[in-house]
Structure 1
Amino acid sequence: MTEEQKQAVAVFRYGVIADFVGATRLDRGEREALLREKCARKWQIPHSGRTRISRSTITRWIQRYTGYGRRLESLYPQDRTDCGSVRAIDEETGLALQELRRQLPKMPVPELTRILHERWLVSSDRSVSQSTVYRFLHQHNLMTEQPAAAADRRKFEAELPNDLWQSDVMHGPHVTVGNKQRKSYLIAFIDDHSRLIPHAAFYPSEALAPFMEAFQSALGKRGIPRKLYVDNGSAFRSRQLEYTCAALGIALIHAKPYQPQGKGKIERFFRTVRTQFLPGFTGQTLEQINGAFERWLEQTYHQRRHSSTGQSPLQRFTAHMHCLRAAPHNLTDSFRKTARRRVNKDRSVVLDKRLFEAPVDLIGKRVELLYHEQSPEQVEVRFSGQSYGNLRPIDLQVNSRVKRDRNGQVELVGEARSDGGTPVEKAITQSGELWEDA
């Protein structure tokens, strides 16, 4: 399994156990009920054909995460030790049997077993017995057709500020961006408990980059939430958002498709924007609409009494300041993009058509490069979870004057002179780095 696949599995596992390892303490009854709920659910597990998670597995993930300093790396999957062992139903056959059962939900098991073999859905030349099919269908709750139950929807509210944020995107008016007329998009976050808006602004796009910019602004202003509830758009399903949330200890929750009822608070805020802010806006540019919107947000919306809570959003949010988690000083590090490259024999690494020089110890190794799109010249290099500092842009002219002595030491000799005196470029080091001797 590649490093990227292990990272995706670890992010998924953190999403499963986030309710147990967060700041909110659960009593024994709540913990048991939550465990039963998660064991009963069907999951889309990355790089696995299984859809269920057992109680012991969830408990083991919690113990590993809390026992190893709450690091995301503790949830990385271990390499399998039973490769090559024979099983009654392998993954491929199991997936085929599940699909066949969905197509024929009332078919008796003997007939189902016969069709499984007739259609050559059993891997290799092995046969599967009826008792094995019985056990498999029981294990995956596929023996009886379950009637569709009415959805149990309930009005809810987070207990404390920053327990839960909701986020979504609203299509805004056309504004001038540069010299062109473009459609604007309002990217907003709302605190479920207080209805305060940690951050909201109009952007010329609803893609991942502006959403992550808005998310970082919200975290810098109002601290770190415990959960983030979002839709199923491409930006909300990105690996970068999943990794950022997991690295900051935020449980990322996605709404069920075609069921917008769970995002009622953010949708209600958008309706307020449409009926109370947009009709009075008279500007034309993106800067003008954001300036007017920020004034309306701070002077009107946050100060006005909310009909559901009986308090203003700002008053209710600040009533429990002791519960808030402040953003870390290295918040921007969690928003960096990740690229993977192999270091060439001449120590060079190419990233976005830029040429960098890596340490000698990393020659031939596949490394991770972390950087911001806004400052691509600052690139941190990591290997096996260890940071090797920032890469240095290659200076071809300096490298052309590098010579080595018989001991493998590097000596750089140049012709530059200072104050009409002697040469000033001369450096010797064991690691190949170049230092200027004053």
Structure 2
Amino acid sequence: MNNPHHGARLTVHSREQIVARIAAGQSAAEVAQAFAVSVRTVRKWLARFRAGGHAALTNRASAPVRVARRLSEARVALIAFLRRSLRLTGAAIADKLGLARSTVARWLRREGLGLLARIDPPEPVRRYQRERPGELIHLDIKKLGRFAQPGHRVTGTRVGCRNRGAGWDFVHVAVDDATRLAYVEVLENERKDTTTGFLLRALRWFRARGIQVERVMTDNGSAYRSRRFAKALRLLAIRHIFTRPYTPKTNGKAERFIQTLLREWAYGLAHPTSAARNADLTRWIDWFNRSRPHSALNGLSPLTRVNNLMRLHS
């Protein structure tokens, strides 16, 4: 408020000079002429100085001291109560209290209640990490489009680069919770037979690296809910854990791995075809497991983490 606009006649320093000249004996008319302002302006700042000293020569807030027909504090509190307790819309609150919708909406915004999502506090972040390799394996599936020529991500244009009817590839992933060690396959579908086959191959792959799987976590997809998938886990004495419906963050490690997979493998290079992209998966997953540092593992790679934990629990 104490930074006047570029066209202001008087700054705080100029107002102090006006007061000083009046105190030195100059008339208000002479001072007004010297500063190219009206006599009324000179007398205004002189009166403010006499009432409040040098502090009164600064700019005041432009907001009015009183607002006609301003809502009382009790009325504002009632609006907030109806919003928080009954979760009423602004229109419903305005109708109940006989107020304009714009008035209720303005006060809801001021109170931070404009969005219903602001009313309920966010759920606390729940982070967990298993201690032993194989204690929990996360499974998930990501669908990727096939292509016979590079798309707009590579060419920069959507003209002449469509791959109509090319179909889809289904990327099945299995990630160990404790070490982030990952096993990935690109398959033709996400049916129960395909998904169960991937499960068995993933378990064999982990077992070959000394990891005995105890639990498997999946979402509620039909393939994971199938009897065939359940039977395979039951015969192997592996516990099956489902995520909460519509809560993908419950399976967050698989979700996070898929983000990395897409960014660094699927979209990281300009693959000429989806077949070339899929052929590059073996190289990328081997690098991810052996060499890629992971921030959640204090900069270690998944395989290094596996070896450290194996020695610790042996």
TM-score (norm 2): 0.50
User: SS in structure 2 opposite 1:308?
Assistant: helix
Partner of 2:286: 298
User: SS in structure 2 opposite 1:320?
Assistant: helix
* 8 A contact 1:175–1:184 mirrored in 2: no
Mapped to 1, the partners of 2:270 and 2:239 lie a distance apart of: 36
Mapped to 2, the partners of 1:153 and 1:166 lie a distance apart of: 19
Q: Which runs of 5+ in 2 are unaligned?
A: 1-119, 149-164
Partner of 2:191: 207
The 5-angstrom pairing of residues 90-105 of structure 1 reads none
* Pairwise CA distance, 1:281: 4.7
Mapped to 2, the partners of 1:322 and 1:250 lie a distance apart of: 24
User: SS in structure 1 opposite 2:185?
Assistant: strand
> Greater strand percent: which structure?
1
* Pairwise CA distance, 1:202: 1.3
Mapped to 1, the partners of 2:132 and 2:179 lie a distance apart of: 8
User: SS in structure 2 opposite 1:162?
Assistant: coil
Give the counterpart of 1:320 among 305, 309, 312. 309
Q: 1:338-395: per-residue Cα shift (whole Å, max 9, x none)?
A: xxxxxxxxxxxxxxxxxxxxxxxxxxxxxxxxxxxxxxxxxxxxxxxxxxxxxxxxxx
The 5-angstrom pairing of residues 29-48 of structure 1 reads none
**Aligned AA (1:271):** Q
Mapped to 1, the partners of 2:181 and 2:190 lie a distance apart of: 22
Partner of 1:228: 216
Give the counterpart of 1:194 among 179, 183, 186. 179
Mapped to 1, the partners of 2:198 and 2:257 lie a distance apart of: 17
User: SS in structure 1 opposite 2:224?
Assistant: coil
Partner of 1:132: none
**Aligned AA (2:264):** Q
Mapped to 2, the partners of 1:211 and 1:281 lie a distance apart of: 29
Q: How many residues align?
A: 173
Task: Label 1:238 to 1:186 Cα distance change in 2 as closer, same or farther (>3 A).
Answer: same
Q: Which runs of 5+ in 1 are unaligned?
A: 1-147, 325-438
TM-score (norm 1): 0.37
User: SS in structure 1 opposite 2:234?
Assistant: helix
Task: Label 1:278 to 1:150 Cα distance change in 2 as closer, same or farther (>3 A).
Answer: closer
Task: Label 1:290 to 1:322 Cα distance change in 2 as closer, same or farther (>3 A).
Answer: farther
Partner of 2:81: none
Mapped to 1, the partners of 2:253 and 2:283 lie a distance apart of: 21
* Pairwise CA distance, 1:284: 2.1
The 5-angstrom pairing of residues 146-157 of structure 1 reads 153-157=125-129
Greater relative contact order, per chain length (Cα 8 Å cut-off, separation 6+): 2
- Greater Rg by CA: 2
Q: 1:134-154: per-residue Cα shift (whole Å, max 9, x none)?
A: xxxxxxxxxxxxxx9985652
**Aligned AA (1:181):** A
Could you say what the CA RMSD is over the residues aligned between the two structures, in angstroms? 2.6
* Pairwise CA distance, 1:218: 0.8
Give the counterpart of 2:253 among 248, 258, 265. 265
* 8 A contact 1:160–1:320 mirrored in 2: yes
> Greater helix percent: which structure?
2
**Identity percentage of aligned residues:** 25
Mapped to 2, the partners of 1:219 and 1:283 lie a distance apart of: 32
Partner of 2:271: 282
Runs of 4+ with >4 A deviation: 148-153
**Aligned AA (1:226):** E
* 8 A contact 2:145–2:166 mirrored in 1: no
* 8 A contact 1:172–1:202 mirrored in 2: no
Q: 1:164-217: per-residue Cα shift (whole Å, max 9, x none)?
A: 0001111213146xxx722111110000000110x2111121111221221121
